[in-house]
Every structure is written in structure tokens, then in C-alpha cells.
């Protein structure tokens, strides 16, 4: 059937609109690949620094985020685990605890964060989230004025 095409009919790939659409498609694919690689680099940096990261995403993005996590593991050259925790994607370095120096660094970093936590929390008696200031304080039962 293809042999029966007249000589004056050109292939569809030579049409200007098809070429333009192909260029736009290739451009979008390159942009998506660049965004993917930037995201993987950011996750890899988190894995190097903290050993784990949690990424919030929707149901439709989970496959992509899992691929980002696997790519981040390849970037740092370590085995990573990826799982869903309360609707979030958790990525962590499985081999991080094997290195005694890294265990020491993590312990020092944790102790430093624990020491800084009271400074970040605010005045005593403030029961808000430790790292976010309260927008409007919640009155305590003893501070209520509507009682006789």
C-alpha cells in the first residue's frame, strides 16, 4: 500500500508544523530531564549531609520521586532505601551507619541540635511547635477571663 503513494506526496515528517511540534516536545523533554537531575542532586546533597530526607508529593508524582531517590543514590555511590511514610516519600542511606566516623558526626550534630532546641523554642511554658513561632498564642485555662 505504501508503494502506491503518488510521487507528489511528501512524508508527514517534512511538514513545518510537525517539525515545530517535535522541537517543542524535545525541548520539554530536555527541561524535564534537567529538573529531574537538579532534584536528584538536591536529594543527594541531603543524603550526604543528613543521611535521609522526606519528600512531600502527590500520588501521581510518587514514581518520579522514587526515580529521583534512586538517581540520588547513584550520585553518592551508596545504596538507598525508599518507602512511603504517612503519604510522604522517605529516602535514606542504608550504608551510613556502617562508617564509624559518620556515626560520630551524626551524634555530634544531633547533640548540637538538642542543645539549640530550647533557644529556638521560645519562653518556658510555650507549648508550640519548637521551630515555628506562634502567630496567635492560645490562652491557657488559668488566663481565661470569661469565668466568674
pLDDT in tens, 37-94: 999 999 999 888 888 888 888 888 899 999 999 999 999 999 998 988 877 888 888 8
Amino acid 139: pLDDT: 52
Residue 27: pLDDT band (50, 70, 90) is very high
* Integer Cα distance of 14 and 20 in angstroms: 10
Give me the CATH code for the 12-94 domain, please: 3.30.110
Q: What are phi and psi of 122, to 5 degrees?
A: 115, -165
The closest alpha carbon to 34, from 6, 68, 66, belongs to: 68
Domain ranges of the chain: 12-94, 96-127
Residue 132: pLDDT band (50, 70, 90) is very low
Residue 100: pLDDT band (50, 70, 90) is confident
Amino acid at each position: 500500500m505504501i508503494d502506491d503513494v503518488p510521487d507528489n506526496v511528501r512524508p508527514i515528517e517534512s511538514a513545518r508544523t510537525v517539525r515545530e511540534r517535535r522541537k517543542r516536545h524535545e525541548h520539554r523533554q530536555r527541561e524535564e530531564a534537567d529538573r529531574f537531575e537538579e532534584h536528584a542532586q538536591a536529594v543527594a546533597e541531603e543524603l550526604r549531609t543528613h543521611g535521609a530526607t522526606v519528600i512531600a508529593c502527590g500520588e501521581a508524582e510518587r514514581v518520579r520521586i522514587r526515580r529521583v531517590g534512586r538517581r540520588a543514590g547513584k550520585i553518592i555511590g551508596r545504596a538507598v532505601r525508599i518507602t512511603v511514610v504517612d503519604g510522604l516519600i522517605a529516602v535514606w542511606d542504608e550504608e551510613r551507619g556502617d562508617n564509624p566516623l559518620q556515626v560520630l558526626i551524626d551524634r555530634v550534630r544531633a547533640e548540637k541540635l538538642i542543645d539549640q532546641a530550647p533557644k529556638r523554642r521560645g519562653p518556658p511554658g510555650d507549648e508550640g511547635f519548637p521551630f515555628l513561632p506562634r502567630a496567635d498564642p492560645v490562652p491557657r485555662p488559668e488566663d481565661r477571663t470569661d469565668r466568674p
